[in-house]
Structure 1
Amino acid sequence: MSEKALRLIPDFDLTARNTLALAAQSRLGYVLEDTAQLPALVAEAGRLGLPLRILGGGSNVVLSRNYEGITAIIATRGRSVLAETRDHVLIGAAAGETWTEFVAWTVRNGFGGLENLAGIPGTVGAAPVQNIGAYGAEIADVFHNLTAFDRETGEIIIFSADECAFAYRDSIFKHRPGRYVVLTLRLALPRPWQPNLRFAGLSELASLPDLTPAMVMDRVVAIRASKLPDWRVTPNAGSFFQNPIVSVQEADAVSALVPEAPRFVQADGRIKLSAGWLIEQSGLKGFALGKAGTSERHALVVVNRGGAAAEDIGAIAAHIKARVFERFGVQLHEEPVFC
């Protein structure tokens, strides 16, 4: 298939297609609205001898200034109720659906289970890749299966939860980057609904009569708005570093320096530390380094202060990691992918 038939866009501007608003351009671009076009797109990239990069909402990436390849934006649409049983409501959505709109749709239809994940930027297809989580919930909690296109074999594969190998902000898709393209996601939302109010700021809702998923979602959105800058106003990629999970000995070393350091015991006995707390205690909340910085509202959020590119984000990320390691001996790892 020819470049013209696929309508590849030359000098594809991506500045408005990433939540960090980084100055970025791809040699060629394509907006994929029909997954049936994906095999032809992969073949065309091979014919042209160019790498093919797949993006969704651009919410968890640090895009290079110039990409010498093809960038495809997943823009497929569709969401529906697939089945209803006594115990679950099975819902499905195309990968290009906006995650926040998808969550709001489930709540409007009276389905609970995703309300704690409201307000997270990005697309449905990116959610299982990162195993997105917030306010005591993860996508793995309600995951049923997904379909993905295998770029190596050209096959459509259905992945179960076990096959996705979900872990904290992790999945098989992060360990095989670029191989699989998520096409559709199916979630099993529980019946009867039980609110997840374990997270601070949500527990007081337990005393409210006739609590609904919409009430929980509204509180989650309000909490996020009070703590995190809106990427549409202050460009950012959300939480930039994973909360480090360390040994008891490493956690004790942090507590020896600052006794009130927050720590959360994991199922395997290791300790999860707060990356945001470590960064703030290292004196980097509201810190600026050239065109990039950390948010004055939340130290974990790296922001574009105006006109930043990938190298600016890389510079501040390296500075933060070095400062935290120097102060606490803890190694931080970025959540967004540099590509």
Structure 2
Amino acid sequence: MTCSQTSLKSLNTFGLSVSAERIVYARNTETLIESWKAHQEKPWLLMGGGSNMLFLDDFEGTVVVNQLKGISIEQTSEEWLIHCAAGENWHEFVKFTVKEGMAGLENLALIPGTVGSAPIQNIGAYGVELKDVCAYVDILDLNQNQMLRVTNKECLFGYRESIFKHQYRQGYVITAVGFRLAKEWQPTLSYGPLKVAEASLTTPQSIFDKVCEIRRSKLPDPAQIGNAGSFFKNPIIPTRDAEAIKRHYPNAPFYPQCDNLVKIAAGWLIDQAGLKGYVANHAGVHPQQALVLINLGGAQPKDLVNMAKHVRDTVYNKFEIWLEPEVRFIGPMGEVNAVEALS
């Protein structure tokens, strides 16, 4: 269905007043293919919930909103096997699985966006990543009109990384995600606030509720303050660099990785750089969670770009660590390299 409205303001959680030449709401694969074939002469952009995008300007082509719906469930004696359409809301899907007694996704509660966006970023929170529960991803090859199933291994999942940012980025649409949840539940409580409250978190529902409580206390509601959640990735640095920081900041939040690498919290770096609550030209750093950049109302795309550049430069000047955006930057002709846009 093509929409006569061309404003993207309600479709991006930053709430930026940008527009597209055309907006199509795709509730089936036929609409996806028809739109792709009909509008090849101009840029074509697929959207889910618009919660991980920063539009740099008006989009000079067609924006297609993925609204594929449906959930089906099978089970074995050991596992729940769930097939979920890409247009389903991620948090509502997690809430549904917990309510139905299918544990494993509770740590990923209240992450904005759709199910189809989850594999692209390999979303993660509180010690669990999408790769830990994903069985497969179904994609539609728009040029060949052919469905493909990509296994977990073939997804090449990494930290906020997957094959869907590369080989399957252009001309492909994620239509569904398959999940494999073990019936023998093992809670993941090793991360931050969950570890502190470990004694009281004895069920998937209690973990779900706790994660929602934590996220609501830290992260602004996009309906109230425009934002796209975590703006920057947590940097992964050599252990020797982490040890140098640790000498000056003994309580710095580090998380050991493999191969003598350490992940450090980007929000902590921004906070230590004195930027929490910083505001300029209607854009700012959230006063409770420094990892979140916000539109205070009336910000233009350039204002958020300038804010992100200021944060990135300031953190580098203090720690010699370059932050890399997690948010996708969308220019008039399509996605652009976010790091290059801030350099």
Superposition TM-score tier, normalisation by shorter sequence: over 0.9
User: Which letter does structure 2 place at the counterpart of 1:167?
Assistant: G
Tell me what 1:4 maps to.
none
Tell me what 1:196 maps to.
188
Q: How far off its partner does 1:10 sit?
A: 4.7
| Distance in 2, Cα, partners of 1:301 & 1:85 | 41
Tell me what 1:288 maps to.
279
Tell me what 2:336 maps to.
none
CA deviations over 1:106-156 (Å, ceiling 9, x no partner): 011011000000000100000011110001111111110111112354321
| Distance in 2, Cα, partners of 1:206 & 1:247 | 30
Tell me what 1:31 maps to.
25
Q: How far off its partner does 1:204 sit?
A: 5.1
Q: How far off its partner does 1:194 sit?
A: 1.4
Q: How far off its partner does 1:77 sit?
A: 1.1
**Which ranges of structure 1 fall in alignment gaps of 5 or more residues?**
1-6
Q: How far off its partner does 1:45 sit?
A: 0.9
| Distance in 1, Cα, partners of 2:19 & 2:218 | 31
Asked if the contact 1:9/1:28 (under 8 Å) is kept, the reply is: yes
User: Which letter does structure 2 place at the counterpart of 1:98?
Assistant: N
Tell me what 2:53 maps to.
61
Bigger shift: residues 195-204 or 70-79: 195-204
User: Which letter does structure 2 place at the counterpart of 1:19?
Assistant: T
Give aligned pairs, total: 329
Tell me what 2:91 maps to.
100
User: Which letter does structure 2 place at the counterpart of 1:71?
Assistant: V
Q: How far off its partner does 1:179 sit?
A: 3.5
| Residue 155 (1) aligns with residue 149 (2) | no
Q: CA RMSD in A?
A: 1.5
| Structure 2 CA distance for partners of 1:155 and 1:309, relative to 1, 3 Å | farther
Bigger shift: residues 177-186 or 14-23: 177-186
User: Which letter does structure 2 place at the counterpart of 1:69?
Assistant: G
Q: Pairwise mapping of residues 176-255 of structure 1 onto structure 2 (< 5 A)? A: 176=167, 177-203=169-195, 206-208=198-200, 211-255=202-246
| Distance in 1, Cα, partners of 2:326 & 2:54 | 10
| Residue 130 (1) aligns with residue 117 (2) | no
TM-score (norm 2): 0.92
Q: Pairwise mapping of residues 298-313 of structure 1 onto structure 2 (< 5 A)? A: 298-313=289-304
**Which ranges of structure 2 fall in alignment gaps of 5 or more residues?**
331-343
Asked if the contact 1:11/1:27 (under 8 Å) is kept, the reply is: no
| Distance in 1, Cα, partners of 2:166 & 2:282 | 31
| Residue 121 (1) aligns with residue 112 (2) | yes
Bigger shift: residues 228-237 or 54-63: 228-237
Any idea what SS the aligned residue of 1:93 has? strand
| Distance in 1, Cα, partners of 2:55 & 2:28 | 24
Tell me what 2:319 maps to.
328
Asked if the contact 1:88/1:189 (under 8 Å) is kept, the reply is: yes
Asked if the contact 1:293/1:304 (under 8 Å) is kept, the reply is: yes
Tell me what 2:9 maps to.
15
Q: How far off its partner does 1:165 sit?
A: 0.3
Any idea what SS the aligned residue of 1:37 has? helix
Q: How far off its partner does 1:206 sit?
A: 4.2
| Distance in 2, Cα, partners of 1:297 & 1:12 | 34
Any idea what SS the aligned residue of 2:20 has? strand
| Distance in 1, Cα, partners of 2:78 & 2:7 | 46
User: Which letter does structure 2 place at the counterpart of 1:13?
Assistant: S
Q: How far off its partner does 1:203 sit?
A: 2.8
| Distance in 1, Cα, partners of 2:198 & 2:247 | 36
Match of 1:71 among 30, 39, 63: 63
Q: How far off its partner does 1:223 sit?
A: 0.8
| Distance in 2, Cα, partners of 1:286 & 1:168 | 27
Match of 2:165 among 164, 174, 186: 174
| Distance in 2, Cα, partners of 1:319 & 1:88 | 47
| Distance in 1, Cα, partners of 2:143 & 2:28 | 20
Identity %: 39
Q: How far off its partner does 1:269 sit?
A: 2.0
Any idea what SS the aligned residue of 1:197 has? coil
User: Which letter does structure 2 place at the counterpart of 1:268?
Assistant: D
CA deviations over 1:161-198 (Å, ceiling 9, x no partner): 11100011110112243332100111001111111111
Any idea what SS the aligned residue of 1:332 has? coil
Q: How far off its partner does 1:208 sit?
A: 4.2
| Structure 2 CA distance for partners of 1:309 and 1:151, relative to 1, 3 Å | farther
Bigger shift: residues 262-271 or 13-22: 262-271
| Residue 276 (1) aligns with residue 270 (2) | no
Bigger shift: residues 94-103 or 259-268: 259-268
